[in-house]
A and B are shown apart, each in its own frame.
Chain A
Amino acid sequence: DSGVTQTPKHLITATGQRVTLRCSPRSGDLSVYWYQQSLDQGLQFLIQYYNGEERAKGNILERFSAQQFPDLHSELNLSSLELGDSALYFCASSVDPEGRGLYGYTFGSGTRLTVV
């Protein structure tokens, strides 16, 4: 157990639907990162939050959004889902905004999203 909790572990939904993925960071970590991993794209950075504020944005589609709440958990919202959104979605956390702490980034076990 890495200390980063992601729910749900698996999600199957239909095209056009909206889903919410949840991430609880490791205790004491203020920064949360979201990554998408599909078979043909590898690990792609989506977005980073630090202490409730958006810090960096990567290749995140406009149909996707995220936020970090006062208790530091984060949610990734995916809407108007397409078949190509099927992927593993990982959340990572770090104690500092640059992930240069002793443990670097700590990743959760991911949410496997299947869009049918």
Chain B
Amino acid sequence: DAKTTQPTSMDCAEGRAANLPCNHSTISGNEYVYWYRQIHSQGPQYIIHGLKNNETNEMASLIITEDRKSSTLILPHATLRDTAVYYCIVRGRNSGGSNYKLTFGKGTLLTVNP
């Protein structure tokens, strides 16, 4: 699975959009980009995933660059409850064996300030 690089931490004002970047320059054609978040000591929560097209759901939007080497998770109107560690994960589509697992890195600690 491709390695991802995320900033260690970011701040965002409540009510503003939070844009969380992720670099995955070694991503291959059949690998998806997943985003999860973990609010302090709770279980990680699935947010969104995509292959090459931009995706949107009720939680967030995922923007993937045309070359697929980076992506941005957008929380359109951040609230205090969005304070969490956000993980960007790249994983193969037709993985086999141990690649079924999601490999979590250190993620980005997003702090939403009042």
Q: Which residues of A contact B (CB under 8 A)?
A: 2, 4, 33, 35, 42-43, 45, 48, 55-58, 88, 90, 92, 97-100, 103-110, 112
Expressed in whole angstroms, the minimum distance between the Cβ of A34 and any Cβ of chain B is 10
Expressed in whole angstroms, the minimum distance between the Cβ of A105 and any Cβ of chain B is 6
Q: Are B98 and A57 in contact (CB under 8 A)?
A: yes
What are 7 A-B pairs at a CB distance below 8 A? Answer: A2-B43, A42-B105, A43-B104, A45-B101, A56-B100, A97-B100, A104-B36
List, in ascending order, chain B residues with CB within 8 A of A106's CB: 46
Instruction: Compute how far the CA of A112 lies from the CA of B104 in the bound complex, rounded to whole angstroms.
Output: 19
How many residues on B have C-beta within 8 angstroms of the other chain's C-beta atoms?
A: 23
Q: Are A56 and B32 in contact (CB under 8 A)?
A: no
Q: Are B46 and A104 in contact (CB under 8 A)?
A: yes
Q: A2-B45, A99-B100 are in contact. List 7 more A-B contacts (CB 8 A).
A: A55-B100, A58-B98, A92-B43, A100-B93, A108-B43, A109-B42, A110-B41
